[in-house]
Amino acid sequence: MTLRTLLEADDVRRAITRMAHELVEHDPDAERLVLLGIPTRGAVLAKRLGEQMTRIAGREIPVGVLDVTLYRDDLAGQPTRPTRRTDVPVDLDGATVVLVDDVLYSGRTVRAALDALTAFGRPAVVRLAVLVDRGHRELPIRPDAVGRNLPSAKTERVRVTLTEVDGADAVTIEGAEQ
């Protein structure tokens, strides 16, 4: 098995900055914009995106956390995970919600997030921002802002590490030697 680094700390920082600009361009007045990060690393990315978007838009962008654990359709086939705290900082009715996650793969986590959102209101628009889109979608889900498109084999493992969780920023891919 080989481990390759695809993005280093500066690359991750630049990707987040680019994504922040793209998201503000989609919603220039940012009046009803809110970011909801999917734990664990999506929540960290949402915080970073929110800081960048606040600087760009010139107004505070609310940032929260949306735990999707109990809304997943694959709980039976995976180890039990502890639920995390959900924090929705504003009323979502009529808001533009940006769901934020680290890696988009099958789309099932995003589907669970869409289900979880219904417990907190009815947003006017829901967008999706991911640091890495690796393809292999099982559901018709497409991100609005992507840090890096990364075609990969299903047998490969893409891993995002972030300083706040893992001690360093990077995106790596692990797979069989070619």
b/e 10-26 (16+ beta carbons within 10 angstroms → b) = ebbeebbbebbeebbee
Record: fold of 2-71+85-175: Rossmann fold (3.40.50)
- pLDDT(124) > 60: yes
Q: Would the pLDDT of 79 be above 80?
A: no
Task: Retrieve residue 98's tokens.
Answer: 């940006």
pLDDT tens for residues 138-154? Answer: 999 999 999 999 989 99
Alpha carbon 137 to chain centroid distance?
Answer: 15
- B/e letters for 96-116, b = 16+ CB within 10 Å, e = fewer, are bbbbbbbbbbbbbbbbbbbeb
pLDDT digits (tens, 9 = 90+) for 61-75: 999 999 999 888 877
| pLDDT over 60 (residue 178) | no
The percent of residues in the chain predicted with pLDDT above 70, rounded, is 95
Which tens digit of pLDDT belongs to each residue from 80-121? 677 888 999 999 999 999 999 999 999 999 999 999 999 999
C-alpha–C-alpha distance, residues 15 and 9, integer Å: 10
Give the pLDDT score at 39: 95
Through-space distance between the first and last CA atoms of the chain, rounded to whole angstroms: 9
Is the pLDDT at 30 greater than 90? The verdict is no
Q: If you average pLDDT over every residue of the chain, what do you get?
A: 93
Using the predicted structure, report yes or no on whether residue 177 has a pLDDT greater than 60.
no
pTM of full prediction above 0.75: yes
Q: What is the pLDDT of residue 82?
A: 77
